[in-house]
Amino acid sequence: MPQSIRLDPTILVIFGAGGDLAWRKLIPALYNLGLDKLLPERFAIVGVGRRPLPVADFRVRLRQGIEQFSRRPLANEELWRRFADNFCYVSEDLADHASGEALAACLAEIESAWGHRANRVYYLAVPPGVMAPAAAMLQRLGVCRDCIHDRLVIEKPFGRDLDSARELNGFLGGLFAEAQIYRIDHYLGKETVQNILAFRFANSLFEPIWNRRYIDHVQITVAETVGIGDRGDYYDQAGALRDMVQNHLLQILCLVAMEPPISFDADEIRNKKVDVLRAIRPLAAGEIHRAAVRGQYRKGQVLGEAVPGYRQERKVSPESTTETYVALMLHIDNWRWQGVPFYLRTGKRLPAKVSEVNIIFRSPPHQFFPSAAVESWQQNRIVIRIQPEEGIGTRIQVKQPGTRLLLGTADMQFRYREAFKAPAPEAYETLLLDVIRGDATLFMRADQVESAWQVVSPILEAWEAVPPADFPDYPAGSWGPEAAELMPARQGHNWLQPSEPEEE
C-alpha cells in the first residue's frame, strides 16, 4: 500500500455513476482508500448519470455497493457519514449538445466552498458510444483544460478494432493532452501483475536466465468460472479476444517479456512494453487456424452447478458466433525471445477461476541419471500466480528420500498471504490512487493500445470472414475446445493445468 502523502484537493467526477462499475468497484475502492486515510483531505465525488436522482438515493445505492462488494465491511456509521458527505449527483443528458450546466455549477460550488481550484479527475465509466460525447462536453465546458491538474480516465474497451481505437485516440488527442488521458486496464493494478516487474528486475537471480537460452516456452492462462452475467449485450458484440486478450493478457505478456527499463519513469516503462507489442510476429492469414483457436461454451456443470450454454444467456443471440474462449500461440521477434512460443488462453465457464503465468525452462543439456530414476522428471518451472492465492512458485527436481536414486519434483512457494499479513488492495484502489496522484505508469498510452489492436487485428479479421461451423464446442466446466489442446501439442508442449485451483 502506498505511503500516505499529502494530496491536492480533488474532485472525482464519475460519468456512468449509476452503472455497475461504479457500484461494484469504484465506490468500494474509494471507501477502502478512505479507510486507509489515503484520499486527499479535501475530496468530493460527483456522480453524473442520465436519469435524475435525489442525492440521498444515490448515497443509498452506493452504500449497498460497499456493503456487498467492499473487501472490508462498513466500519461504523460515523465513518460512512463522513465518506457519504463527499457525494453529489447531477443528471446530464450527454446526447443533448447543450448539456453540462449542472455539472459546471456543481464543480464551481465545491471549489468556491473550498476557496480554491481543485484537481479534477473525470472518470468515463460509460459504454464506448458515450465516451466521445462525454469528452466533448468537458471540452465545451472548459473544465478539463489544465494539462497537469485535470485528468480523464477511460475504461476499456478502448475501441473495438484498430481503426476505431485510432479514431477515438485521434478525437481525444484533439481535445486533451496525452498526459491527461489515463486508459485503464485493471489487470495492471493487480498486486501480482505489478510484482512481475519487481520479481524480474529487483532480483539478480532470474534475469540472466530470462531468455531463449534457458526458457523453453511461456504459458499465460486467465480462466474464469463465471459466464457473462447480465452483460450479454456488450459481450456478444465483443467476445473473448476483444474483452480479455487485447488488453489483460497482452499486458501480462508485456511485463513478462519486456527489456529492463532504465528508470521507473512512466513513459520509459510504457516504451519498453510497446517494444514487446511491436515485436510480436503478425500472424499470417494461412497460419491463423493453427495459432489461434476460438471456442464457445455449451451447457454444462461448473463448480458442481448446472449452467446454461452461452447461446441461452440473457441478451445473447441464440445463433451467436461470439467466442467465449481463445487460445493463441505468439512469437516475439527479438534477440531475447526468438524461437520461444508464448501460449495465451482465456475463457469463460472453465473449471476454475485462476490466472497464472508459467515459465517453462529447457531440459538440462545432458541427462545422465539412470532412466528408472527420472520417470517422473519434469522441466523446471516458475509459476507466477496472479489470482487467487497470489504468489510465485518454482518447481525443481530433487532426490526422493530413500536408498535408491529416484528423482521427484518439489515446489518452493512464496504466498503473499503468508509472507505479508496485510491484505492487498484491490486493483481499482491502486489505480484510482495513482490517477489522483497523477502517476500514469500503470495506464496505457495511445500507442500501446493501438499496438495491442495491431496484434489481434489479423485474427479478428480472419474470424469475422469465416464464422465458426462447430459452435458451441466446449461444455461449460471443461478446459475449452479440443483444438486448443492440439495447438501446443503440435510443438511438443501441453497446457499445464493450474495448480490447486480454488473455488471463487
Q: Which 8-state DSSP code applies to residue 51?
A: S
CA 100, 105, 108 angle in degrees (round to 5)? 125
Instruction: Indicate which single residue of 216, 236, 243, 450 sits in contact with ligand BG6 (rule: CB under 6 A).
Output: 243
Cα 464 from Cα 231, distance rounded (Å): 21
Span between the terminal Cα atoms of the chain, in Å? 24
Encoded one letter per residue, x for contact with ligand BG6 by CB under 6 A and - for no contact, window 196-235 reads ----------------------------x-----------
Can you read off the three cell numbers belonging to residue 457? 487485428
Using the minimum distance from each CB to ligand BG6, give the nearer residue, 184 or 459: 184
Using the minimum distance from each CB to ligand BG6, give the nearer residue, 298 or 348: 348
Nearest residue to 43 via CA among 30, 28, 32: 30
Closest separation between CB of residue 327 and ligand BG6, Å? 17
Q: Site for ligand BG6 (CB under 6 A): how many residues?
A: 2
Is 248 a residue of the active site?
A: yes
- By beta carbon distance, the residue nearest ligand BG6 is 243
User: Which position among 97, 149, 217, 248 bears the catalytic label?
Assistant: 248
The HSE-up count of residue 270 (CA atoms within 13 Å, CB side) is: 21
Distance of CA 292 to the CA centre of its chain: 21
Closest separation between CB of residue 289 and ligand BG6, Å? 25
Using the minimum distance from each CB to ligand BG6, give the nearer residue, 158 or 337: 158
Closest separation between CB of residue 243 and ligand BG6, Å? 5
426 forms part of the interface with ligand BG6 (CB under 6 A): no
Can you read off the three cell numbers belonging to residue 15? 460519468
Using the minimum distance from each CB to ligand BG6, give the nearer residue, 224 or 236: 224
157: cis peptide before it, omega within 30°? yes
User: Which residues are bridge partners to 354 per DSSP?
Assistant: 223
Using the minimum distance from each CB to ligand BG6, give the nearer residue, 224 or 450: 224
Cα dihedral 284, 287, 290, 295 sign: positive
Q: Site residues for ligand BG6, window 347-376 (CB under 6 A)? A: none
Cα 382 from Cα 364, distance rounded (Å): 16
H or E segment to which residue 414 belongs: strand 407-415
For 146-175, the DSSP string reads -TTTEEEEEPSP--SSHHHHHHHHHHHHHH
Using the minimum distance from each CB to ligand BG6, give the nearer residue, 407 or 449: 449
Closest separation between CB of residue 21 and ligand BG6, Å? 10
Binding residues for ligand BG6, rule: CB under 6 A, are: 224, 243
As annotated, the active-site residues are: 248
